[in-house]
Homo-oligomer: A and B are copies of this chain.
C-alpha cells in the first residue's frame, strides 16, 4: 500500500494562507500570536492529524531525546527487568529508547556504540559485554556523548556506574549460611575476571574470614560459563570429595538450580545435609523444589537510577563532578533451600 505522507507545517500554512513561522508559533502557544489565529491553526492541525516531525525538530536543536541502550543479552530475566525500569523512567521524562544487544561480542558492542552515536542519541546506557578489553573506542565516544554504565561495568571507564552492592550481597548470603551453623561452604563462580563474579567472591571470602572459618581451595570451584549445566557438574565434583561441603553458594540462580538438581540425583537432603543459596531472584528460583534462597536484585531500580543519572548529565553537561559509582542495595530472600522452620 502506498502510504500518504504525514501533514507538515507547510501544508497547514498554505491552506490557511499564513506563514510557516506563524503556524509553528501558534501551535507552540507563543505569546506573540493572537488567540484567534491560534484557534484556527489548532483546529486545522487537529483536523489534519498534524503531529510535529520530532526528527526535524531534534535535528535542528541537536537534541533527539533518544537514549541508546546496549546490553549483552536481552533475554536474561534480570536484564529485561532493568530494561523495564529504563523504559518506564525514560518515558516518564520524555525520552525514547533504542535498545541493542551486543550478544557479549566486543566488536559488535563497539559497532553499536558507533551507530548509536551516529544516530544522534543524547546519551548511552550500557552494560558491558564479557571480556571487554579494548577501551579506546568506548573512551573516544565518551568524549562526545554522556554515558552511564550499569550492571556489567568497568572502573577503567570514567563515567557514572550503577551497580548492585555485589560484595555486600554475597557477604550477607554467606553469613546467613554461617548463622545457620554451616561451616564448610562451597562457592560456584566464574573463571574469568568478570567484575560481578570477583565482587561476589570477595564477599564470600570476607564473610568466611570475619567468622574465622578456614578457606579451603578444594571447595572453591570455577567455570567459564556459570550455567545450570555447569552448576550441576561442579556440584557432582563437590559430592565426590572426601569432605563434602555442608552448603553451596552459587553466584547465579541458574548454577544454584543446577546444584539442586544434582543434589536431588544423589539423594542429598536440602538444606539439612547441604544448603543452597543463589543470586538473582529469577522466576525459576520459586519454581524449583525446594524454593531457592537468593539475592533479590532490584533490576527495575537499577534501570531507573541509570536513566536518572544519564539525563542529569545530558541536561547539565558542564558538571564535572558528576562521575560516581552508585551501589543499589539488595536483600536476601530466605527460602526452603537454606532454612527449615
Chain A residues engaging chain B, CB cutoff 8 angstroms: 1-6, 49, 51-56, 58-59, 64, 66, 74-75, 77, 80-81, 83-84, 87-88, 91, 96-101, 114-120, 140, 143-146, 257, 283-284, 287-289, 313, 317-320, 322-323
Contact = CB atoms under 8 A, between A and B. Distances in A.
B53 A120 contact: yes
Contacts of A66: 98, 119
Contact of A51 (B3, B81, B118, B319): B118
A313 B143 CA distance: 39
Contacts of A114: 51
Given A87-B74, A87-B101, A2 B118 contact: no
User: What are the 10 closest A-B residue pairs judged by CB atoms, nearest first?
Assistant: A75-B80, A55-B120, A54-B118, A287-B287, A284-B287, A51-B118, A99-B99, A54-B119, A59-B59, A2-B317
Q: In the assembly, how many copies of this chain are there?
A: 2
A40 B97 CA distance: 37
Contact of A83 (B74, B77, B119, B283): B74
B51 A59 contact: no
A83 B97 CA distance: 14
Contacts of A145: 3
If over half of A's interface residues share one DSSP class (helix, strand or loop), that class is named, otherwise mixed; here it is mixed
B77 A75 contact: yes
A119 B4 CA distance: 16
Nearest to A123: B3
A159 B7 CA distance: 22
22 contacts: A1-B318, A1-B319, A1-B323, A2-B317, A2-B318, A3-B144, A52-B118, A53-B118, A54-B118, A54-B119, A54-B120, A55-B119, A66-B98, A66-B119, A74-B80, A75-B77, A75-B83, A80-B80, A84-B101, A96-B98, A97-B98, A257-B287
B6 A117 contact: yes
Contacts of A284: 283-284, 287
Given A2-B317, A53-B118, A54-B115, 4 more contacts: A1-B317, A5-B144, A80-B80, A87-B101
